[in-house]
């Protein structure tokens, strides 16, 4: 494997060298992006007489290639060609039919290149597995005019480079996988071959495989003494000046400092193995410092102990291309020098371990746990956990074992059952008020009442722990969904009556979550986890209710570590703000933007608030985050005001807890002063629920904000609890209609009535009105008509939603605002001049004749917005999917609906220029053309050359057009009256056509529509190219997998895979108590054959024998492997000895039938086979080695008896 990686690395260097020599430039380099978005030059070819200095090994800060540029490289795959002397650049996209004209290059970019001595540059993105992996950089110290042929060849060489880099990545991954499998194999061997696993030896294997200097295993003693095993160097835990443990008898893992260490440690989760690992810096004062990888060892329902690996955490030496910028101001300025600058960086604990090492640690722990369970090392712990709890119910262990048994049976019988996780609401208040004895008594009363209720429906009740219970409802197959839901709902009947407790009447309610098998899981752990998730969701909905599980309930975040993660992210500035514009419906101007928080999570990527705000609202962190949002949004507004956007407001959501703070007004005042933002530029948004919590404090706070000049909006109006009288009394400026009422405004009579009432209320109270969730033209048209009074006057109305714009990053919103300012108005035509919505729905054509130009109409905006959304949706589909058929289908359907035309097709050419319609979207009554072959005899000579050069054909009326008669006849046969044809180019070749057919009538194709289809045709070309690359990568990956498990000569499975399959079948058949047979085969006198005929004939003999053996073991689970040299093995799972004899005889005869000449054989004149059979029913009293030994002894006996025969272990 190392040789393969070295070979690929050499080919990468050779490819870079080949590009350099072909283009005759000074430098060609491969630049790789790192996790923090900085980058490093990892490969470089520098011409001998180059005037440029080497950049190899130098790192560049993330600010050198900002996020906007990285996003364009990834999404548009743009290639940037810059000529410094002329201050011009070309931005070229792959497979572009014609190159763009030169445009002015950014002054900052030109200075950057000039300082590096570069006069001409090409930058190509390297995209691997749908991520921007890096860039191909081409630099020259002379001005250069790039020729089309050079660029075409560069595309091919760039693709080769991408494939080589991908292969190298896959090779490294495969090498890590092999190392992992070898390590786990050693551990399994130690666990399987001894009655009591040698934990010291297991620890030694783990430490060495993870490259540690020492390690320890701690096993928790629940009934006896805890156990600790050590290997290698032991590093103490130092916090401040205190070293733990301080005495020889102390156990590190049982100290209070250890628990604090766990809370502060960096965590990495691996959902694929269901485990998490922790990394912690043990002693920062040591030289060198040490990092610990801590892996919890989990039993079925509790933590059993820890595996800890120690490693030196040496500082990282980084060579930068000039000192990296430290402040925002420095990031905006060009570095004075690019000379190498050294940084000695202290690494965080988590950074000293690679992801593969952490995964290996998790896999080691998981393998140990499985082995420990098989050896019954924790029987005493299981005995203890089976004791009944104080409320005389089955406990957690009992319930889990019952559920495991049931899931196995239910899978076979396809039974339906439900797991319910129930938690008592506010139980802690009883403990705090009446004492823990009262709490225990209440648990007994609740359990009895639940038991009485469940006895009628044969449900199983168990006590999970604390105030939590679990319920199992079986035999649900005969019930429909409504009846099952009634059963679940009726559990709440147990809490209708009060509980009599120590002379008090106590009302206790519950929240419960439901998971139904097999829909919500087929194993006990998943069902319990999903039921618990649903229970917490029920609590969020107001408690005293239930929730049935759905995947949308599960957060990607770990609630146990969430607070620590958020605090770290606040320090590391991982949070960011996105902005969504609010537009005045009358003038079309952007009046405000709403600030929306996002979390750029280090592991999960960009997260919306729904994933973390519900958790944060239960802690003091909500105020800290709220203050950060307030300050960040005001700072951004200050920048926009400095750039001339002085009328803009920023709207910020304020949580109830933040708003109820007594110093909230002072905080607002302080932030406005610090950011130099006038009070009129800020609008805070609060919900009706916030208003209703403390009316007196709310009124005082709102009054103070009004005196300052800060606007206040009532958010999600119509969804809360405030009374109209209270709203009338509060000093408010804005009402925001909740999106739920806007969604069905066109179709729901009730929603229409509610919106009308809110509009009237806003007009009566002289409040600004903002409609949220505006997603289409129909909603906007309906709202516009409702906003006009009987006298024709208009109230102050604003709209917000995806129809106007998705939430945008600060940079994107800046561009949006300035574009809007240039146009003066997003809506440049008065709303009353727009054609009525019915006309717009029925006709895709824009107004012509005396009406105003489309570019100045609101309809133009709507069409443009929808077009951009469509392009974004299909681009996202292209990047998210490798299924060409799905991408094609989405494309034609969306285009057909957008154009409101009769038929849209994707047409692919064959080699003879005939073609096939591969995808189609057509409406009735027009005929489907799918899978039809269409022949156009005129195409090759007349149309093909034009389409190759990017020609677009738009025909309003085929009868009036000047087209060839053969083409006209073809269109008539397809019922076409007007058509629009866009070429699809793939690697500068004409792949096919994207065609829109209008059949019902003639049709004018608008330039915007032509632009749309051209852009989408480009996306289709990207999808085709992407699918081909993926297919090549899949083939490369398949080859790598085969290298790992196949014998190169015979193409049978190799010895490593034989061992894996034998282990796999042994464990399965041990559970099923079925026989496992093994046949070992050896070619008789093969060395004599090889010496006489030569190695080439010997290899050919091995290949033919392998093929013969493969033909006799044809079941899916049978495994034929090359065992070594001229020896082969056949694994026959579930096969008794007598049937193994049948297979062995077939194998012997198949080799004899090859009739391979063997003149020097003492047995026969042709190649023969000796075979030995071993057979056993796997159990704890036998081992795999015994089975192999039996088969080997039988093979030896067959050879003693004269060869060319079969013996079994009994012989």
Dist. CA 926–CA 903, nearest whole Å: 8
> Does residue 734 have a pLDDT over 70?
yes
pLDDT band with cut points at 50, 70 and 90 for residue 382: very low
Dist. CA 394–CA 465, nearest whole Å: 11
983 in Cβ contact with 1017 (< 8 Å)? yes
Note the helical H segments in 265-313.
Answer: none
Q: Which residues contact 249 (CB under 8 A, 6 or more apart)?
A: none
Domain ranges in the chain are 2-174, 199-314+338-374, 386-553, 562-827, 901-1022, 1046-1208
Dist. CA 494–CA 483, nearest whole Å: 18
CATH 3.30.450.40 describes domain 2-174: yes
Of residues 561 and 469, more confidence is placed in 469
Q: What CATH code is assigned to 562-827?
A: 3.20.20.450
Own/partner contacts of 856-861, CB < 8 Å, gap of 24 or more, are 856/828, 856/829, 857/828, 857/829, 857/833, 858/588, 858/827, 858/828, 858/829, 858/831, 858/834, 859/834, 859/835, 860/1008, 861/588, 861/826, 861/827
pLDDT band with cut points at 50, 70 and 90 for residue 550: confident
3-state SS class at 62: helix
pLDDT band with cut points at 50, 70 and 90 for residue 864: low
| Residues 66-115 pLDDT 10s | 888 898 888 888 888 888 888 888 877 776 644 455 566 778 888 888 88
3-state SS class at 999: coil
> Does residue 831 have a pLDDT over 60?
no
3-state SS class at 194: coil
Which pLDDT score, from 0 to 100, does residue 671 have? 94
Dist. CA 372–CA 298, nearest whole Å: 11
Mean pLDDT on 937-957:
70
Dist. CA 954–CA 972, nearest whole Å: 16
Which pLDDT score, from 0 to 100, does residue 15 have? 87
Q: Residue 1055: which of 1080, 1086, 1088, 1090 has the closest Cα?
A: 1080
999 in Cβ contact with 975 (< 8 Å)? yes
Structure-derived torsion over alpha carbons of residues 64, 65, 67, 70, reported in degrees to the nearest 10? -170
Which range of 183-187, 205-209, 479-483, 659-663 scores highest in mean pLDDT? It is 205-209
Which pLDDT score, from 0 to 100, does residue 101 have? 53
Q: Which residues contact 72 (CB under 8 A, 6 or more apart)?
A: 78
Mean pLDDT on 788-797:
55
Poorest-confidence range of 410-424, 574-588, 644-658? 410-424
769 in Cβ contact with 762 (< 8 Å)? yes
Q: What CATH code is assigned to 386-553?
A: 3.30.70.270
Let me know if the fold of 386-553 is the same as that of 1046-1208. yes
Which pLDDT score, from 0 to 100, does residue 749 have? 72
3-state SS class at 711: strand
| Residues 35-73 pLDDT 10s | 888 999 999 999 888 888 899 999 999 888 888 889 888
Q: Which residues contact 378 (CB under 8 A, 6 or more apart)?
A: 299, 304, 372
Of residues 1114 and 125, more confidence is placed in 125
Residue 234 to residues 238, 245, 1154: CA-CA distances in angstroms? 13, 11, 63
Between helices 621-642 and 810-823, what is the axis angle to 10°? 40
Dist. CA 160–CA 915, nearest whole Å: 30
Cβ neighbours of 1192 (radius 10 Å): 18
Q: Residue 136: which of 81, 68, 89 has the closest Cα?
A: 81
Q: Residue 475: which of 546, 398, 416 has the closest Cα?
A: 416
pLDDT band with cut points at 50, 70 and 90 for residue 911: confident
3-state SS class at 34: coil
> Does residue 869 have a pLDDT over 70?
no
| Residues 283-300 pLDDT 10s | 555 667 888 888 887 654
787 in Cβ contact with 794 (< 8 Å)? yes
Q: Residue 538: which of 592, 491, 581, 500 has the closest Cα?
A: 491
pLDDT band with cut points at 50, 70 and 90 for residue 1211: low
Note the helical H segments in 594-649.
Answer: 613-616, 621-642
Superfamily of domain 1046-1208: Reverse transcriptase/Diguanylate cyclase domain (3.30.70.270)
Poorest-confidence range of 306-315, 528-537, 857-866? 857-866
Mean pLDDT on 21-41:
91
> Does residue 829 have a pLDDT over 60?
no
CA angle 556, 559, 560 (to 5 degrees): 130
Residue 258 to residues 354, 698, 778, 823, 1187: CA-CA distances in angstroms? 23, 45, 61, 62, 47
Q: Which residues contact 970 (CB under 8 A, 6 or more apart)?
A: 934, 936
CA angle 661, 666, 667 (to 5 degrees): 75
Q: What CATH code is assigned to 199-314+338-374?
A: 3.30.450
Dist. CA 470–CA 456, nearest whole Å: 17
Poorest-confidence range of 146-150, 649-653, 836-840, 1139-1143? 836-840
Dist. CA 789–CA 756, nearest whole Å: 11
| Residues 658-696 pLDDT 10s | 888 888 999 999 999 999 999 999 999 998 767 766 777
3-state SS class at 946: helix
Which pLDDT score, from 0 to 100, does residue 882 have? 64
Q: Residue 734: which of 672, 785, 808, 684 has the closest Cα?
A: 684
Architecture of domain 901-1022: 2-Layer Sandwich (3.30)
Which pLDDT score, from 0 to 100, does residue 842 have? 35
């Amino acid at each position: 494997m190392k040789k393969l990686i070295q070979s690929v690395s050499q080919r990468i260097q050779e490819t870079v060298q080949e590009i350099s020599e072909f283009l005759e430039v000074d430098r060609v380099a491969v630049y790789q992006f790192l996790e923090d978005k900085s980058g490093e030059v990892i490969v470089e070819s520098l011409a001998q007489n180059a005037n440029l200095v080497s950049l190899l090994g130098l790192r560049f800060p993330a600010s050198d290639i900002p996020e906007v540029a990285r996003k364009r490289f990834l999404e548009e795959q743009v290639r940037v060609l810059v000529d410094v002397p002329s201050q011009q650049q070309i931005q070229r996209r792959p497979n572009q039919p014609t190159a763009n004209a030169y445009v002015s290059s950014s002054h900052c970019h030109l200075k950057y290149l000039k300082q590096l001595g570069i006069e001409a540059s090409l930058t190509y993105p390297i995209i691997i597995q749908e991520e921007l992996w890096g860039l191909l950089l081409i630099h020259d110290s002379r001005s250069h005019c790039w020729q089309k042929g050079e660029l075409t060849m560069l595309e091919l060489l760039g693709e080769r480079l991408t494939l080589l880099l991908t292969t190298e990545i896959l090779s490294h991954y495969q090498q890590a996988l092999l190392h992992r499998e070898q390590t786990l194999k050693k551990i399994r061997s130690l666990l399987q071959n001894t009655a009591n696993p040698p934990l010291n030896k297991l620890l030694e294997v783990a430490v060495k495989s993870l490259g540690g200097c020492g390690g320890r295993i701690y096993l928790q003693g629940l009934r006896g003494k805890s156990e600790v095993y050590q290997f290698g160097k032991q590093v103490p835990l130092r916090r401040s000046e205190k070293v733990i443990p301080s005495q020889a008898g102390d156990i590190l893992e049982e100290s209070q400092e250890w628990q604090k260490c766990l809370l502060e440690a960096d965590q990495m989760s691996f959902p694929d193995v269901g485990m998490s690992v922790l990394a912690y810096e043990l002693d920062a004062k040591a030289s060198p410092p040490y990092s610990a990888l801590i892996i919890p060892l989990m039993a079925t329902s509790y933590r059993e102990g820890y595996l800890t690996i120690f490693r030196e955490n040496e500082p990282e030496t980084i060579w930068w291309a000039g000192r990296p910028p430290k402040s925002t101001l420095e990031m905006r300025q060009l570095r004075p020098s690019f000379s190498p600058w050294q940084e000695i960086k202290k690494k965080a604990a988590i950074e000293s371990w690679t992801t593969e090492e952490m995964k290996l640690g998790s896999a080691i722990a998981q393998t140990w746990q499985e082995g420990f369970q098989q050896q019954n090392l924790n029987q005493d712990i299981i005995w203890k956990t089976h004791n009944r709890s104080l409320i005389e119910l089955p406990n957690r262990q009992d319930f889990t074992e019952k559920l495991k048994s049931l899931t196995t049976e239910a899978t076979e019988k396809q039974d339906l059952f439900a797991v319910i996780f129930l938690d008592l609401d506010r139980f802690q208040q009883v403990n705090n008020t009446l004492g823990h004895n009262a709490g225990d008594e209440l648990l007994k009363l609740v359990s009895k009442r639940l038991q009485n209720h469940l006895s009628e429906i044969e449900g199983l009740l168990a006590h999970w722990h604390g105030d939590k219970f679990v319920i199992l409802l079986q035999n649900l197959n005969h019930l429909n969904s409504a009846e099952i839901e009634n059963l679940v709902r009726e559990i709440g009947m147990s809490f209708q009556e009060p509980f009599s407790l120590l002379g008090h009447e106590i009302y206790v309610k519950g929240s419960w979550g439901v998971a139904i098998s097999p829909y919500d899981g087929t194993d006990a752990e998943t069902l319990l986890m999903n039921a618990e998730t649903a229970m917490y969701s029920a609590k969020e909905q107001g408690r005293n209710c239930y929730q049935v599980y759905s995947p949308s309930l599960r957060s990607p975040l770990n609630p146990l570590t969430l607070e620590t993660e958020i605090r770290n992210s606040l320090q590391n500035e991982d949070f960011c703000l996105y902005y969504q514009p609010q537009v005045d419906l009358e003038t079309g101007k952007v009046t405000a933007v709403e600030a929306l928080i996002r979390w750029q999570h280090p592991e999960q990527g960009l997260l919306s608030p729904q994933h973390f705000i519900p958790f944060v609202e239960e802690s003091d962190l909500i105020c800290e985050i709220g203050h950060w949002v307030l300050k960040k949004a005001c700072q951004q507004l200050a920048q926009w005001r400095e750039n001339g956007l002085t009328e803009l407001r920023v709207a910020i959501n304020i949580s109830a807890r933040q708003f109820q703070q007594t110093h909230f007004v002072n905080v607002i005042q302080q932030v406005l002063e610090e950011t130099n933002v006038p009070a009129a530029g800020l609008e805070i948004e609060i919900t009706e629920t916030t208003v209703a919590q403390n009316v007196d404090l709310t009124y005082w706070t709102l009054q103070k904000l009004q005196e300052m000049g800060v606007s206040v909006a009532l958010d999600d109006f119509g969804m809360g609890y405030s009374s109209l009288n209270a709203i009338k009394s509060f000093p408010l400026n804005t009402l925001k209609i909740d999106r739920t009422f806007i969604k069905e405004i066109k179709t729901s009579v009730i929603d229409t009535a509610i919106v009308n009432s809110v509009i009237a209320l806003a007009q009566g109270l002289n409040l600004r009105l903002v409609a949220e969730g505006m997603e289409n033209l129909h909603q906007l048209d309906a709202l516009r008509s409702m906003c006009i009074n009987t006298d024709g006057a208009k109230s102050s109305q604003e709209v917000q939603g995806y129809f106007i714009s998705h939430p945008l990053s600060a940079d994107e919103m800046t561009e949006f605002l300035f574009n809007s300012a240039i146009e003066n108005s997003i809506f440049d035509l008065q709303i009353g001049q727009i054609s009525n919505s019915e006309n717009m729905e029925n006709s895709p054509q824009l107004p012509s004749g005396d009406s105003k130009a489309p570019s100045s109409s609101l309809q133009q905006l709507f069409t443009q917005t929808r077009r951009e959304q469509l392009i974004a949706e299909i681009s996202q589909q292209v990047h998210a999917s490798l299924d060409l058929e799905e991408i094609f289908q989405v494309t034609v359907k969306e285009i057909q609906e957008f154009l409101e035309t009769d038929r849209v097709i994707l047409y692919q050419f064959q080699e003879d220029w005939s073609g096939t319609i591969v995808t189609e979207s057509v409406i009735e009554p027009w005929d489907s053309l799918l899978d039809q072959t269409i022949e156009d005899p005129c195409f090759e000579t007349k149309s093909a050359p034009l389409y190759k050069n990017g020609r677009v054909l738009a025909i309003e009326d085929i009868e009036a057009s000047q087209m060839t008669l053969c083409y006209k006849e073809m269109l008539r046969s397809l019922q076409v009256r007007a058509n629009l044809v866009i070429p699809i180019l793939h690697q500068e070749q004409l792949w096919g056509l994207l065609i829109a057919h209008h059949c019902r009538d003639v049709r004018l194709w608008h330039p915007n529509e032509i632009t749309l289809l051209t852009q989408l045709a480009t996306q289709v070309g990207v999808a085709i190219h992407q699918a081909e690359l993926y297919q090549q990568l899949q083939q490369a990956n398949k080859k790598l997998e085969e290298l790992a498990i196949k014998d190169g000569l015979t193409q049978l499975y190799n010895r490593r895979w034989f061992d894996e399959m034998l282990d796999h079948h042994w464990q399965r058949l041990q559970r099923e108590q079925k026989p496992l047979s093994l046949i070992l085969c050896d070619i008789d006198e093969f060395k004599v054959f090889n010496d006489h005929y030569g190695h080439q004939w010997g290899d050919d003999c091995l290949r033919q024998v392998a093929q013969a053996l493969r033909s006799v073991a044809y079941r899916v689970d049978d495994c034929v492997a090359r065992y070594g040299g001229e020896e082969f093995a056949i694994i026959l799972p579930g096969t008794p000895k007598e049937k193994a004899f049948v297979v062995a005889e077939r194998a012997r005869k198949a080799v004899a039938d090859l009739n391979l000449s063997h003149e020097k054989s003492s047995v026969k004149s042709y190649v023969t086979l000796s075979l030995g059979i071993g057979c056993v029913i796997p159990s704890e009293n036998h081992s795999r080695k015994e089975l192999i030994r039996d088969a080997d002894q039988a093979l030896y006996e067959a050879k003693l008896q004269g060869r060319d025969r079969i013996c079994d272990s009994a012989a």
